[in-house]
Structure 1
Amino acid sequence: MQVAHIHIQNFRGVKEASLFFSQHAVLLGDNNTGKTTVLEALDLTLGPDRLNRTPPIDEHDFYRGQYHTKNIGAAQPIVAVDAPGALGAEGAKGEAAGEEVAPKEALMINIEVTIIDLTGEQQARFGDYVEFWDSKQKKLYSDAVPEGVDAANITHALRVTFLGHYDPEEDDFEGKTYYASSITGGSPVSFNKKDKQVCGFLYLRSVRTGSRALSLERGSLLDIILRLKEVRPQMWEGAIENLASFSVAEDPALGISGVLKSINTALKKYVPKEWGVEPHLKVSNLTREHLRKVITAFIATGEGDHAAPFYRQGTGTINMLVLAMLSQIAEDKQNVIFAMEEPETAIPPYAQKTIIHEVRKLASQTLFTSHSPYVLEEFALTETIVLARNAAGELQQAEVVLPDSVKLKRYRQQFRQRFCEGLLARRVLIAEGATESDSFPVACRRLAELKPETYSSIEALGVCIVNADGDGNIPDMARLYKAIGKRTFALCDLQDAPAKALIEAQVEHLYMHGEKGIENLVLKNTPKAAMERFSDLIQWPQDLLQKYPDPKTNIIDALSDYFGKTKADLGVADYLAQCSEDEIPQWIRDACIHLKELCTPPAPLSFAADVSPGGEPGDGNEAL
């Protein structure tokens, strides 16, 4: 069993999305792209406990907060919903027909999930609502030839739809899940909690899951394990009885009982006994729900006997504890879809890899989000889904396709150093070599420190700089990132016309200076005072001191040799880091300003001119 497809409309930052998943996949993208939104949408549709929250959605779950036609300006299209039918109650039976799924003027959150590779138990339970999915065409099989379903690429499928809306009469929000095929048939039938439990979807949020993993709260991991094992501990009545007989701080020496007695005496002056007297302290509210919240597991710390609540352990320990509990769930259920956010949180690299491999073995499908190269390199290219969202709220996916010049072996060997950061960023600057990729960010950072109102570091602009390892590799590297929806820029030395044209065809803007080597750019365009100051700051290598006993007497040649010798040791970057604004070459300053202009969205004209998250400025093809 696995999720093959999800279609999302009007949910959080996503106006529209249609995504396809492999059996195991990792979702990549910069922060606020929509990765968590996708997992939340799955949880809203398939999570058995999500709809227990009242209401299950709120104002901020609607795209741009637009949940009613009155929320939308005149320029915005109105998408009203008029879907008559029966609101399903339990199982395969709906309630009275003729009711509307949502008021006509409501804007809907609409999430449809297609589940494939159903087990025999699932096929029997979902019966009339089972359809067929063509994994090759990535769509429902709808041919009129019945024997076509016997093909190897055709599998049983179930479509489930969540519909959420605002009800103006109740002045509140409603959300329910239905068999999708029953909605199109005009008589919606509810896909209830027991149906969802058969699907076995578990969503593990970063940090938040571990905070109550070993508590007995409803929906906690321990509660899920107990339900799967059909363990119903008859503990509550005995616990309440024992706690009720225990009164806190009765010893008069403590002083608390005396205060309570004085309060009781004063109370008797004003109210009859029947109104309530004799205040005393108990250890809890003595209700089952309150005990579920306050009872928690303790774990020994260190080598001694001292134990502390599990949530007071280290974050990494808690995360590994969650993994151990997940393995228990998977062993009992045998058919689980795990969706997990950022498994690398507070976990060392070797443990990150352990989590990925163990969860993949345990689950029928795993969906991860991550920013860790150690996690990402464990997924094949076909399992890597790069997400990008445009200014209109359209979330799209792309698969990493390597250009001919980037062989799979090289991609794997250099993944952490050269490719990973670019996959995770929105904007990528392809630099010709190591000196450029080291020096330009340092120069931008230095200028931003000196004059923040004019300059910005490339990190603050959300730009990742990637070393192409040679100007001949720039076009293919840029094509790789451009194909998956990244904004691409390039930085290089002087190129001939054909090479320049190849690069410009793949990037939004080419930053090309007029020298052969960035070292020459720096030496020809910085004052002698900056060079001599730098000479005093560094420790000259012995071979260069023999060649230049007093480097300042021939500072340009001495520094040229020094920069050549320290290419791998950030020689040029260290030089630029000690320069003032006026001492940094004008070309570098202009490039920093221009890149900032391209990557900084324009200020909104008015309060009403909202800019959607993920929006970008114009095409930025102006010449530097």
Structure 2
Amino acid sequence: MNIKGEHSGIKLMEARIRNFRSLRKVDIPFDDLTVLIGENNSGKTSVLEALFAAIGAGRRVIVPEDLFLDVDESKPPKDREIIIDLLFRSADKTGALEQFPEGSYWTALWRTGIAQDEKGNDLLALRTRMFWNAGRGEYVTERKFLGDWPDSDNPEHAKVSPGYVTSAQLEPIALYLMDAKRDIQDELRNRGSFWHKLIAEPGLSDEKIEEIEQTLSQLNERIIDGSRVLSHVQEHLNDLYKTVSTEKGDVSITPLARHLRDLGRGMDISFRTRDAQTFPLVRHGMGTRSLAAILTFRAYSHWRQANAKGDAVHSLLALEEPEAHLHPQAQRALFGQIAAIPGQRIVSTHSPYIASQAEIAGFRHFRKVGTETKVSRLDTSGLNSEDLRKIDRMVLNTRGEILFARALVFFEGETEEQALPVFAEAYWGTSIHALGISMVGVDGKDKYFPFIRLAESFSIPWFIFADGEQDAITSLKKALKRLDKSKNMDERNNIFVISDGRNFEKYIAIADYEDILIDVIIEQSAKTDQHKEKLKEDWSQKPGRLDAIREELDKNKTRYARPVAEAITGLDDETLRFPPLIRQLFERISEQLGLTKQEAPIP
């Protein structure tokens, strides 16, 4: 756990993928920890597999079925090619460097494969290409260095270096893919797994190995001598010499491996919880086995990095759905374990518990548009450190759910946060969570901008329900101008502002709701039946009751917000169940998301 290697000296900066499954044209920059989010079948796994096909440890074969198919195509045209371009640069802990250090491991490994960009900075670009070879009548795959990093729109104009990239040149940057089906049992059984690479050389002296193997031979003899069954079997096996024409020697059963190098074949890992029996991991649940595979890889990565010569290893891990089979608390704890894996980690997840702990700048948001995958990241231009902190806090406070939303509704305060979900459930007949709608308080009238920027960056439809007070409108207009100077607030159909300078409490406290609001106030305030009757009498005699209602609601926002919404949506008069502006908001959301109004039954 405390093993620490030096920085590898390089970094995977970007991947450009063309025509691989739904990835018709996808460019993805990478951080030390990059988190891929988005709905199912949006292309996250395809990115991991494309990377693995390019530089994976035990690379998968690219097949014709991986070629992108458009909606009206039954098979791809022969001139369509899969291209996976990867850009590496020299780097240290502070970021990318301009040059590879002279005499470094990487310059010796890649030699003439290292090129320069238009600014004269060193780069290493690798191209994996699958294309139709007319002469052979089949698709072929090749890997070559690029002499530059071409414009994203014109990858075909890249300068392709002669010769091919060798396995030896890829091995130190080999990417390990741990898919959602990972299981420590598979790692223990597979001779080519990172587990067997880790234990292949235990680091014992020749003298120690000889001593241990003598002990293993003695243990085997004691087991056979003490077992009538095994002695019986061995006696019959000696008849091999009666059938096979060979000089007689001896046949021996070895219950234990005779050589230390073979011990790994039968090696197991056991796990015991408090006050329970010890069981091998293979007899535990899939959650524990999946987690054990991740932790074993972490051990392998640390050990490999710490024992590499100089900067000869760059660890790359592609991890699919690390949350698989784990309960929410374990998912939260898992993020720290992933963050402790050295090198670069590319993680795809559907877990809000994992997403809520990652830095927002490290997210890549996936969505499907027709047959194509589109990938976006947070546009940080114009955002200061405080803006980024607010976004990170919002993601944490919403447990990451905001990142997976189909639509976002922003508002200023606590009243809307409690009331709007009640109105929404009554309007659509189901909870906002089932609909994929997140309603988020931005904690103040002047704090909209970073949240709008997040939604815009990830192409998540967003709406604002705002108070109509002048300072609130001024702040909102300012935020919208920062987002897009060409559009005025009045031109947007996703902004809903309460009229006449009112806030939410004043908007609700109107004559149509006077009686029911008084009932709610009394119900929430009364401590005894006698007290309730006294409150009824007091309210019946109050002059200017609407002003008194507004004052009471404004003074105790969180106490009344939900019960007020529940009371209004329970009215017999359907036209009053949803205040007009709230109804307009829901109608616009329905139009955008293709939802149908289906009011919940009134209790």
Q: What TM-score do you get using the length of structure 1 for normalisation? A: 0.63
In structure 2, which of residues 328, 342, 350 is the aligned counterpart of residue 363 of structure 1?
Answer: 342
1:339 is aligned to: 318
Contact 2:320–2:349 at 8 Å: present in 1 too? Answer: yes
1:196 is aligned to: 170
Q: Distance in 1 between matches of 2:402 and 2:171?
A: 39
1:263 is aligned to: none
One-letter amino acid of the structure 1 residue matched with residue 345 of structure 2: T
The CA deviation at 1:584 is 1.4
In structure 2, which of residues 541, 563, 579 is the aligned counterpart of residue 571 of structure 1?
Answer: 563
1:323 is aligned to: 294
Say if 1:500 and 1:199 are closer, same or farther in 2 by CA, change over 3 A.
closer
In structure 1, which of residues 575, 580, 584 is the aligned counterpart of residue 577 of structure 2?
Answer: 584
Contact 1:519–1:572 at 8 Å: present in 2 too? Answer: no
Say if 1:599 and 1:224 are closer, same or farther in 2 by CA, change over 3 A.
farther
* Secondary structure of 2:588 counterpart: helix
The CA deviation at 1:200 is 3.0
Q: Distance in 2 between matches of 1:331 and 1:9?
A: 33
1:598 aligns with 2:603: no
Q: Distance in 2 between matches of 1:325 and 1:518?
A: 54
2:3 is aligned to: none
The CA deviation at 1:110 is 1.2
The CA deviation at 1:439 is 1.9
1:434 is aligned to: 414
Alignment of 1:124-163 (within 5 A): 124-132=108-116, 141-142=117-118, 154-155=121-122, 157-163=123-129
Alignment of 1:63-142 (within 5 A): 63-64=68-69, 71=75, 105-117=78-90, 120-132=104-116, 141-142=117-118
Q: Distance in 2 between matches of 1:47 and 1:315?
A: 25
Contact 1:109–1:164 at 8 Å: present in 2 too? Answer: yes
Q: Distance in 2 between matches of 1:485 and 1:441?
A: 22
Contact 2:20–2:68 at 8 Å: present in 1 too? Answer: yes
Which digits, 9 at most, give the CA deviation of each residue in 1:125-177, with x for residues without a partner? 33332334xxxxxxxx246xxxx5xxxxx45x432222235789999865454
1:464 is aligned to: 438
1:617 is aligned to: none
Gaps of at least 5 residues in structure 2 are: 1-9, 91-99, 149-155, 205-212, 214-219, 230-264, 306-312, 484-491, 597-603
The CA deviation at 1:473 is 2.9
One-letter amino acid of the structure 2 residue matched with residue 567 of structure 1: K
Contact 1:433–1:468 at 8 Å: present in 2 too? Answer: yes
* Secondary structure of 2:189 counterpart: coil
Which digits, 9 at most, give the CA deviation of each residue in 1:517-559, with x for residues without a partner? 33444453866896698689x5544398486146995897697
In structure 2, which of residues 53, 60, 67 is the aligned counterpart of residue 44 of structure 1?
Answer: 53
Alignment of 1:501-540 (within 5 A): 501-502=477-478, 509-514=494-499, 516-524=502-510, 540=525
Say if 1:355 and 1:216 are closer, same or farther in 2 by CA, change over 3 A.
same
Which digits, 9 at most, give the CA deviation of each residue in 1:278-307, with x for residues without a partner? xxxxxxxxxxxxxxxx98946355467856
Q: Distance in 1 between matches of 2:480 and 2:387?
A: 23
Q: Distance in 2 between matches of 1:168 and 1:441?
A: 60
Which digits, 9 at most, give the CA deviation of each residue in 1:570-610, with x for residues without a partner? 333443564565541252233212211022399xxxxxxxx
CA RMSD of aligned residues (A): 4.9
Q: Distance in 2 between matches of 1:190 and 1:514?
A: 68
One-letter amino acid of the structure 2 residue matched with residue 365 of structure 1: Q
One-letter amino acid of the structure 1 residue matched with residue 503 of structure 2: G
One-letter amino acid of the structure 2 residue matched with residue 463 of structure 1: I
The CA deviation at 1:8 is 1.0
Say if 1:348 and 1:593 are closer, same or farther in 2 by CA, change over 3 A.
same
Q: Distance in 2 between matches of 1:195 and 1:601?
A: 53
In structure 2, which of residues 3, 10, 13 is the aligned counterpart of residue 4 of structure 1?
Answer: 13
One-letter amino acid of the structure 2 residue matched with residue 62 of structure 1: L
One-letter amino acid of the structure 2 residue matched with residue 589 of structure 1: R
* Secondary structure of 1:542 counterpart: coil
Q: Distance in 1 between matches of 2:571 and 2:267?
A: 58
Contact 2:376–2:457 at 8 Å: present in 1 too? Answer: no
My pick for the range that moved more, 340-349 or 554-563, is 554-563
Contact 1:113–1:161 at 8 Å: present in 2 too? Answer: yes
* Secondary structure of 1:472 counterpart: coil
Q: Distance in 2 between matches of 1:383 and 1:186?
A: 31
Q: Distance in 2 between matches of 1:551 and 1:311?
A: 71
Q: Distance in 2 between matches of 1:110 and 1:11?
A: 8
Say if 1:411 and 1:398 are closer, same or farther in 2 by CA, change over 3 A.
closer
Q: Distance in 1 between matches of 2:203 and 2:59?
A: 21
1:136 is aligned to: none
In structure 1, which of residues 460, 478, 497 is the aligned counterpart of residue 452 of structure 2?
Answer: 478
One-letter amino acid of the structure 2 residue matched with residue 320 of structure 1: L
Contact 1:4–1:115 at 8 Å: present in 2 too? Answer: yes
1:102 is aligned to: none
Contact 1:228–1:329 at 8 Å: present in 2 too? Answer: no
The CA deviation at 1:330 is 0.9
Contact 1:7–1:19 at 8 Å: present in 2 too? Answer: yes
1:20 is aligned to: 29
My pick for the range that moved more, 483-492 or 436-445, is 483-492
The CA deviation at 1:325 is 0.5
One-letter amino acid of the structure 1 residue matched with residue 462 of structure 2: T
Q: Distance in 2 between matches of 1:494 and 1:322?
A: 55
The CA deviation at 1:191 is 3.9
Contact 2:184–2:293 at 8 Å: present in 1 too? Answer: no
2:424 is aligned to: 444
Q: What TM-score do you get using the length of structure 2 for normalisation? A: 0.64
Say if 1:405 and 1:300 are closer, same or farther in 2 by CA, change over 3 A.
closer
Q: Distance in 2 between matches of 1:7 and 1:195?
A: 20
The CA deviation at 1:10 is 1.6
Contact 1:106–1:167 at 8 Å: present in 2 too? Answer: no
1:62 is aligned to: 67
Q: Distance in 2 between matches of 1:576 and 1:215?
A: 61
Which digits, 9 at most, give the CA deviation of each residue in 1:300-340, with x for residues without a partner? 55467856563542444234312320122113321311232
One-letter amino acid of the structure 1 residue matched with residue 468 of structure 2: L
Gaps of at least 5 residues in structure 1 are: 73-79, 81-104, 133-140, 149-153, 248-293, 450-455, 603-624
The CA deviation at 1:474 is 3.1
Say if 1:211 and 1:546 are closer, same or farther in 2 by CA, change over 3 A.
farther
One-letter amino acid of the structure 2 residue matched with residue 49 of structure 1: G
The CA deviation at 1:424 is 4.3
Alignment of 1:202-241 (within 5 A): 202-205=176-179, 207-210=180-183, 212-217=185-190, 220-226=193-199
1:398 aligns with 2:374: no
